[in-house]
Structure 1
Amino acid sequence: MTTTSDSENRRRLVLFLVLMVLVGLNLRPALSSLAPLLVRIQTTTGLSALAIGALTTLPVLCLGLFAPLAPWLSKRLGAERTLGLALGMLAVGLVLRGLPPNPLLFIGTLLVGASIGVAGTLLPALVKREIPGGADLMTGVYTMALCLGGALGAGLSIPLAEWLGSWRLGLISWAVLAVAAMIAWQRCMPRRQAPPPSSGGGSMRDLLGQPLAWQVMLLMGTQSSIAYIIFGWLPTLLQLRGYSDAQAGWLMSASVMVQLLSALGAPWLARLSRDQRPALLMVLGCVACGLWLLLLGPENWRWAGVVLLGLGQGGSFSLTLSLIVLRTATSRLAGKLSGLTQGGGYTLAAMGPLAVGLLLQFEASLPVLTAVLLAITATAAGLALLAGRNLRLDIDEHGELITR
């Protein structure tokens, strides 16, 4: 009987991992596939540089604004159904984004950002629930899927547009992957009895009173700001250096592909220490070096910049996402912290692409733009010294939320 139960648990675990990877693959192509096409989109639609900047900012802003809805929807519909609904909304947004009238480009992008915000907030709590003992390592697997999806979006964006004969059809084609993930999730998603509502602490108001929660949220915001600036503007910045749109897209794609290594390896590296500060500082240092080499360094060092940027970004995002499960004692607290961290963090992160768009509108030089990116990275490093400490949010014997 025990053998049958163990076999069933293993099968359930493998199935959940496959579904998690499939969902993760969908949460970045919608963002990274847009950046290499921005010049074509601006030429075709006649949008101003400021409007294009808003287009890159909108999905990230929606990630932040809609992420706090995930715990609320999960409580009423269940986490599994809410995630399936988010995948369906993602497919609809991807289709609308490629349809001709310009307003649909923005409406579709809004839906894409909202759906990714909800789905991305739910997954850490589901991982904490399904695999409590290895939640940090499994978050690395999930982050690896995000990075792979981002790399595919950046690398295939131009080829798909060329093959299908239109950037609009190229953008719409990503809906196929979202529909596949939605069908697989609806048919095979884990189903568990929802736990009874807790009467103890752990409300959002309680969470806002904990400095540790703010530190994790602000770290998520600053490191994500760099990530979404790169998703939205790195190809454009590389084109300012003289690269073609295809070359810029492939350089970004290669950098995102390198993220696969550090996204999976960073949580293992973090386990070698009592806290995550050394690992976080190392990967953020790689981000800073990679940015400088790509944007200001010698051109023949561009591949070193690609590798360093990829290692740094994959590692920093994986570690920051892992902090959601490492800094909480229960899956319920992980869900709450995930909503706060990704909601507030992504709202803050949205300011990054907008700021770069404004700087480009005013024809800021590449050294000025690079200095801004390095300043954001340095701020993230300062926050990592706080959020990376070996602390955890928990409920004490009196039902109060505390930091241990």
Structure 2
Amino acid sequence: MERSVRSSRRSGAGLVVLTIFLVALCLRPALTSVGPLLPTIGADLGVGEGTLGGLGTLPLLAFAAVSPLVTRLTSRIGTDRALLLALTVLTVALLARSYTGVPGLWVGTAVIGAAIAVGNVLVPVIVKRDFGGNVSLATGVYSAFMTVSAAVASAVSVPIALAVDWRFALAVWAALTLVVTLAWLPRALRSRSAPMARPADEHKAPIRLWRRPTAWLVTGVMGLQSTTFYVMVNWLPSIEAARGVSEEAAGVHLFVYIGVGVIGGLVIPLLFRSSGNQVLAGVVASMPMIVGVIGILLAPGLSLLWVVIAGLGSGASLVVALSLISIRGRDQHDATRLSGMAQSLGYLLAAAGPIVAGSLAEATGSWTATLVAVLVAAVLQLGVAIGAGRPERSGVQPSGGL
């Protein structure tokens, strides 16, 4: 009887730990559901395309602004409770964005970005804490949940809008976040980490972090993979249309690009575990984007093949970036600060990506310059991934290897 009770408790604890993967489901639908609906939103509200483009950039700017502040929040209320607050705010903001008019559309979008930023920063920290010996595998599963929800949201937003309206198509994801918030609530209430005790030299820690070369390399991986992803998500259909792909096929290719990222994200941890080589993993994750972009430039007739290859690399690169954040953090405090730095600067770079890509296309009259810019970013990612994968000079190798 006692053994049965212990087994039940362990199972219950395991289920509580797994709720982090449910959180991953909430971190992208609020963003990827918007793009397909922009023409409908613009027609309904009388807003031009240039203005609507800001709806895609605003969350990334919120990521950049809020990410460095997450450490202060967790120091006050703890990691699990900070994530509960973010989920609650996200639920309310999803409803406000749809049903409070044009001002609410913009304010709600900004608040949504801020709430998601907290989740972006804290999930690698929680993965490091709860899955210490399996960081890359847990990160791969987490990113798979996140990618699937992103792909589904982008695919169903238009059908839902046609069946009801665009406001409901955006707000419906509040139901998902509400369910996950309720699932996370017991974990937050039981949390023993609120607030986290600050080290005696806490005020010096951010300065030391910004002086660590490895921190900048990890930030580079995060920023460059985010830049290539958001450029492709925003402009891939337009790039393919200019090369003779039909509008319907280009839309399918975008879904494929996002969807196959799940496979890349789940496979790359197997390489980590079999080889234990973080540099090799970084190279393998970075190369497909290079190959895919070169293929689109030189052999556009095989566009679906190149989209699949690039998508595999995109998903794998996200897992590499998030895993490096978890592993290069020397403790929970350091991982939170590193996550804030990498995602703040990384998403600031990513926010500029789609704008620069569109400007290059407008200035040159073709998408070739944009594709070359993506290729350059992918090559740079390869270089910084090699550096970020090497052990730090101090000889300190954090636990929870890839």
| TM-score, length of structure 2 as denominator length | 0.88
Please give the secondary structure, in 1, of the residue aligned with 2:134: helix
> What is the Cα-based RMSD across aligned positions, in Å?
2.7
Match of 2:78 in 1: 78
- For residues 43-122 of structure 1, the aligned pairs below 5 Å read 43-99=43-99, 101-122=101-122
Encode CA deviations 1:217-258: one digit per residue, 9 max, x unaligned: 122111111122233333444444565665444322222221
Measured in 1, the distance between the counterparts of 2:376 and 2:85 equals 38
**Which amino acid in structure 1 is aligned with residue 136 of structure 2?**
D
Cα distance change on mapping 1:224 and 1:34 into 2, 3 Å: same
Measured in 2, the distance between the counterparts of 1:393 and 1:239 equals 50
Contact 1:147 1:260 in 2 (8 A): yes
Measured in 2, the distance between the counterparts of 1:74 and 1:279 equals 31
Cα distance change on mapping 1:234 and 1:298 into 2, 3 Å: closer
Contact 1:147 1:257 in 2 (8 A): yes
Match of 1:137 in 2: 137
Contact 1:293 1:305 in 2 (8 A): yes
Match of 2:199 in 1: 198
Q: How many residues align?
A: 393
Deviation of 1:317 (Å): 0.4
Measured in 1, the distance between the counterparts of 2:340 and 2:69 equals 8
Which has the larger displacement, 274-283 or 120-129? 274-283
Percent identical pairs in the alignment equals 34
Measured in 2, the distance between the counterparts of 1:168 and 1:286 equals 37
Measured in 2, the distance between the counterparts of 1:244 and 1:173 equals 30
Which has the larger displacement, 241-250 or 21-30? 241-250
- For residues 267-306 of structure 1, the aligned pairs below 5 Å read 267-293=269-295, 297-299=299-301, 301-306=302-307
Contact 1:53 1:353 in 2 (8 A): no
Match of 1:176 in 2: 175
- For residues 1-400 of structure 1, the aligned pairs below 5 Å read 8-17=9-18, 19-99=19-99, 101-164=101-164, 166-189=165-188, 191-194=191-194, 195-200=196-201, 203-241=205-243, 247-293=249-295, 297-299=299-301, 301-360=302-361, 362=363, 364-391=365-392
Measured in 1, the distance between the counterparts of 2:176 and 2:366 equals 38
- Show structure 1 runs of 5+ residues with no match: 397-404
Deviation of 1:215 (Å): 0.9
Cα distance change on mapping 1:244 and 1:32 into 2, 3 Å: farther
Measured in 2, the distance between the counterparts of 1:364 and 1:383 equals 32
- Say which structure is richer in helix: 2
Cα distance change on mapping 1:35 and 1:237 into 2, 3 Å: farther
Deviation of 1:146 (Å): 1.2
Measured in 2, the distance between the counterparts of 1:45 and 1:233 equals 23
Measured in 2, the distance between the counterparts of 1:48 and 1:360 equals 19
Which has the larger displacement, 49-58 or 109-118? 49-58
Encode CA deviations 1:128-179: one digit per residue, 9 max, x unaligned: 1222222232111111111111111222122222222x22321122222112
Deviation of 1:318 (Å): 0.4
Deviation of 1:4 (Å): 5.6
Cα distance change on mapping 1:183 and 1:392 into 2, 3 Å: farther
Contact 1:326 1:392 in 2 (8 A): no
Measured in 2, the distance between the counterparts of 1:341 and 1:393 equals 20
